[in-house]
Chain A
């Protein structure tokens, strides 16, 4: 386990990652995890019965995007793989199909082979998911 090279420092911004999941993306994610909950694919049910303005984007899918944000930024800067070791996240507002999620973050601290990042997803500057994520440099 190598120490994190000095090029990565606390305060560094991560290169933002934008995702605009559509109905096909939601279907594929539901199918991949065998999630049968109607609110991610049945528009009339979701809007008329559950009262949502559209299909909500799965919370875990937003967590996937945040993990990808950290991995893609750090791996491209380090030129080596990083491994997820800890991830704490919370959904604070819904995101809906067709909305663009901007996934952002910054390096919070570097310690030995560990890099801690603060991350969040937002739609029009309204945060939908927030978290803290640590990776180890391999």
Chain B
């Protein structure tokens, strides 16, 4: 039977990802907050943020998406595919399609302007299941965003290949 869990897939799965460092600027938070229609001054004004008990301008909770997308997309133009995105991080096997599965997010605290965030990525699990149309490969990635050694956001994201 056909399988996507080949030796090439297993070798690919052994890779490690370098930690990416992003310093969050007040302007990054302001831009995200404006783009998503936030109006609370804690996202725009350091004084308002401090008065509300935050150390500086505080990011809305879904701001972490910026930390996932930026390090992957901010690369020289010739390293982007014709569709404008970086090459997908998938094993070197013949597939006919890729789908996004579930995202699970755990948040412990807040991200604020000035935070130096260490962005960790790893492949947690690789499982093959047989679907009606043939083999399906489930890749479970974990992204972890750490400030001063403490995990603020942990995201688990499943990608499904067929």
Contacts and interface: CB of A to CB of B under 8 A. Distances in A.
A and B form one complex: yes
A28 interface: yes
Interface residues on A, range: 35 or more
Given A34-B73, A37-B83, A67-B62, A28 B35 contact: yes
Contacts of A49: 83
B105 A88 contact: yes
A50 B82 CA distance: 12
Given A38-B84, A39-B83, A86-B107, A33 B32 contact: yes
A37 B100 contact: no
Interface stretch (A5-13, A57-65, A97-105): A57-65
B107 to A, nearest CB: 5
Interface of B: 28, 31-32, 34-37, 52, 60-62, 65-66, 69-70, 73-74, 80, 83-85, 100-108, 110
Interface of A: 19, 25, 28-29, 31-39, 42, 45, 49-50, 59-61, 63-64, 67-68, 71, 81, 83-91
